[in-house]
Structure 1
Amino acid sequence: VTLMGTLISGLDRTFEKSMAGFRSDVLLISRMEWFSGDVDWWEMRNRPRIREEYGEKLLERSQFVEAVAPVSERGGSIIRGDRRIDSRFFGTTTDYLATNT
């Protein structure tokens, strides 16, 4: 029982340290879940896409929103013969700096 309590306390501290890297004044809205253990991937895939206009409307209508930064991400692989390279591409706006610093 003591070992289990120590393990849980250690996990709690590790989780708190990892979450401390996130800012408390930033709200992330995503089509996909961070941890998809409870939702099947095809249900997330079928969710409507978040459109860039939604961020613009939030910025216009809220007195608390200071910046909105849409982010688009794509990945892919290039294979030639026995060589392969995997890449991730991220696209955003200059407002991303205001939301991520």
Structure 2
Amino acid sequence: MLDALLRALIEAEDSGQVTDQVTDQVTDQVTDQVASLLNVLPAGVALKSSELMHQLGLSHRATFRKSYLYPALAAGLIEMTDPESPRSPKQQYRRVAR
């Protein structure tokens, strides 16, 4: 998802629709949000999305998924504990061991 966002921004920039400043702001914002998620998710610990949202002080699930969870998953920084059942109420997320 992060890659798709960056590609769209680059295409818009190439067509003259977006400035370098806007591209940098969006990239920094996504990076900061993912970094915040990683800061509240210690290595070796798996947490539910509701627990992560609480740790981040967020209450809007859609914003959490779009801005924090999905970019971190797409970047391979976190993983699901049960990838075969992504919508399971027991689904948890953990940092990927590097």
Aligning the two structures, in what range does the TM-score lie when normalised by the shorter sequence?
A: under 0.3
Q: Which has the larger radius of gyration?
A: 1
Q: Looking at secondary structure, tell me which structure has more helix per residue.
A: 2
* TM-score normalised per structure 1: 0.27
* TM-score normalised per structure 2: 0.28
Higher RCO, Cα 8 Å, sep 6+: 2
